[in-house]
Chain A
Amino acid sequence: MIRWRQARTVATFEFLSTVKRVGYLVTTFGMPVFIALYGVVVGVPVYFLEKNANKPVVYGVVDGAGVLRLEGETAAGAPPIPDDVRSALEAAGQGQALDRALVASQFVFRPYPGEADARRALVASEIKGYFVVPPDYMDTGVIDSYSSDVLSTRGSDSRSALATLLRERLLAGRVDARVAARVTTPVKEARRFNVTREGTVTDGGVAASVLRALVPILFMVLFLVSVMMSSGYLLQGTATEKENKVVEVLLSSANADEILAGKLVGLGGAGLLQIATWLVMVLVISVGVVPLVLSARVAVPWLALAVAIPFFPVAYLFFGSLMLGSGSLGSTMREAQQYAMVFSLMAVVPLMLMSLLITDPHGTVARVLTWIPFSAAPLVVLRASLDPAELAWWEIAGALAVLVVSTYGAIWLGARLFRIGLLAGGTRVKLRDVIRQARAGA
């Protein structure tokens, strides 16, 4: 029987003493600053690279076959950008970025009368490389490509651009212009639609469905980070109490269940507060994404978000109880982490199977994992996000019921292990001691 007043006292103490620690404050507010600084360090060189990359890339062409008939510098067509992505980027005020991206993807071909001229231009770094279209090209289809001996990742893009230019010039005047356009670019844009089980047609574009894939991944990552962060605080707190020898004082005022519950809420709350602080910072920084979401008619997976609300805290308590209980058996912080690691690995399993689960969200593996308490929460969220119509209500209710019952059992077991671990002080607990003392009720 838990006396909630005791649990609340423990929770308040643990929470306040944790969030006031310098280390906690530094991590909470310093981590985003560190990441921002890291971003600047990485971003500055990338920015200058990008700036240079925005300039059109000039390649030389020696047209020995006379198929290109270039009369000056000529640009090859840029690959098409889907309309929904284009409109979303423009709505988000990213029009300039779009233009830069288009410019960056363009190659300009400069004609040279002979290979010697082209080679001199390459050596003088006036061009990135050059192509020689030999006189027998029409028979062989072979061209020669020359570039400097500096590693470049643009070789295949430039060859692709030249191929497009060749197609255009070979067809020009020989076939109807519309046919020529379709031969050059058979699919300019593939508009995508989804048909629901009720027969309703909805937008199926990449931008529109991005959240459906993103929500379960974010849920899993957030859940894992929360569990890891909080378990760190929980294990550290227990190790401190063992080290400081305050265990018996606590146990003479509150039982193991009350202390465990208080720690889960207090230290777990401190961990969640940290995550929430980071999330708020990310949301504030990324406020510009909102118009992108609105203009692209992004489908918000409301069911997934709704089921995430009850599943997250229950699953969090489930893992926290087991990790704290098992971790308290360790005689040192390192041992505690090793014991708790077993459950960390269990939490990672859905993430490891992500590609399989996304491919087949209602397959056998996904359905089985839905009913296992270690993976129920992320699986239900994933299935509700990717294909809510195929996820039956009883699967959601059943998985939640299994998780709630398992969490109750985990708290019970965690409290027994916690009590044994606390009373063992700094000595290592053997499995037979755990079984014996659990049977003895102490």
Chain B
Amino acid sequence: MLPVLAFEGLTKSYGETVALRDVSFDVPGGQIFGLLGPNGAGKSTLIRILMDIIRPDAGAVRVFGEPRRRAHLDRLGYLPEERGLYKKLKVGEVMTYFGALKGLSRAEARRRALAWLERLELGHTVNWKIERLSKGMGQKVQIASVLMTDPELCVLDEPTTGLDPINVRLVLDLLGERRARGLSTILSTHHMNEVEAICDRVALIDRGRLMVYGAVDEVRRRYSLPEVRVGARGSLPVVPQVASAERETNGTWKLLLADGVAADAALAALIGAGAAIERFEPVLAPIEDIFLRVVREGQA
């Protein structure tokens, strides 16, 4: 898949503080890309540079295969972390305005706003003043304002924070639909379960450096211990390919393989020793563990 976005050697400082240090990576098209990092890691700076809100000290941004120009902003959507709406105005007016800013005619923006409000079960609020909305409703209006323009690349910074589980699922489903239509989304979040559930690829930034980058499964494998989860009838035989075994509460076994032993070699050894194997799968490290490990190692 061709990249829709490429950061090339981005560096940005605020006085003495270095926010980004030579950051380079691609975002393939038609995927949901997780942008991870602790607070103050440089994620927002990276996104602001992408959206041309601030300029980098060095490096370049390419979008849709071209050096980023202002005209590209109409094809980009952005939901910032620090966000809000005009409290004294009506929901429909605000959404129409945001749509018009992205190049839609006022009539088309209004039409799409109504359609998206209906879709998010907020159709009755179109003539409400924003201040009348609950926090969750307001957040859904903000997300709809971004998605209604069908941006080819959309950056959502913590879109689900503050939403109830039903609405979290709703938002994640919307992102899944975008992916199915070949549209790209960058999801900046601290909810690692969301990353595992929906993201195809991730980048982890810490203190301005790109620490981890790759497909989610590949990253999880890369940072996992040599462990496998095994379901078997009866007990497991002791084989030299397994360094230790731990019985889990649901009856499965978590085996730590000996140094240099591949999972398939351990499986062959267990079967050869008479084990009745029903299930055998590598134990992948949770993204949250990888996050904590990388950040702590960086601090150390």
Contact = CB atoms under 8 A, between A and B. Distances in A.
Contacts of A250: 101
B57 to A, nearest CB: 7
Contacts of B86: 17, 240-241, 244, 246
Nearest to A242: B84
Interface string B139-166: 0000001000000000000000000000
Contacts of B98: 249, 253
Given A248-B53, A248-B78, A441-B55, A253 B73 contact: yes
A13 B53 contact: no
Nearest to A246: B84
Contacts of A12: 100
B231 interface: no
A6 interface: yes
A3 interface: yes
Contact of A248 (B57, B71, B82, B102): B82
Interface string A309-338: 000000000000000000000000000000
B83 A253 contact: no
A249 B70 contact: no
Interface string A149-173: 0000000000000000000000000
Interface residues of B, number: 32
A245 interface: yes
B55 A440 contact: yes
Interface in A416-438: 423, 425, 436
Contacts of A423: 53-54
B85 interface: yes
Contact of B83 (A6, A9, A246, A436): A246
B113 interface: no
A439 to B, nearest CB: 11
Interface string A257-297: 00000000000000000000000000000000000000000
Contact of A249 (B57, B78, B93): B78
A249 to B, nearest CB: 6
A21 B90 CA distance: 12
B173 interface: no
A249 B83 contact: yes
B51 A251 contact: yes
A51 B74 CA distance: 71
Contacts of B79: 249
A255 interface: yes
A105 B83 CA distance: 71
10 contacts: A3-B71, A240-B86, A245-B84, A246-B83, A248-B48, A250-B101, A251-B53, A440-B55, A440-B57, A442-B55
- Sorted nearest first, the 5 A-B pairs with minimum C-beta distance are A245-B84, A253-B101, A248-B80, A252-B78, A252-B51
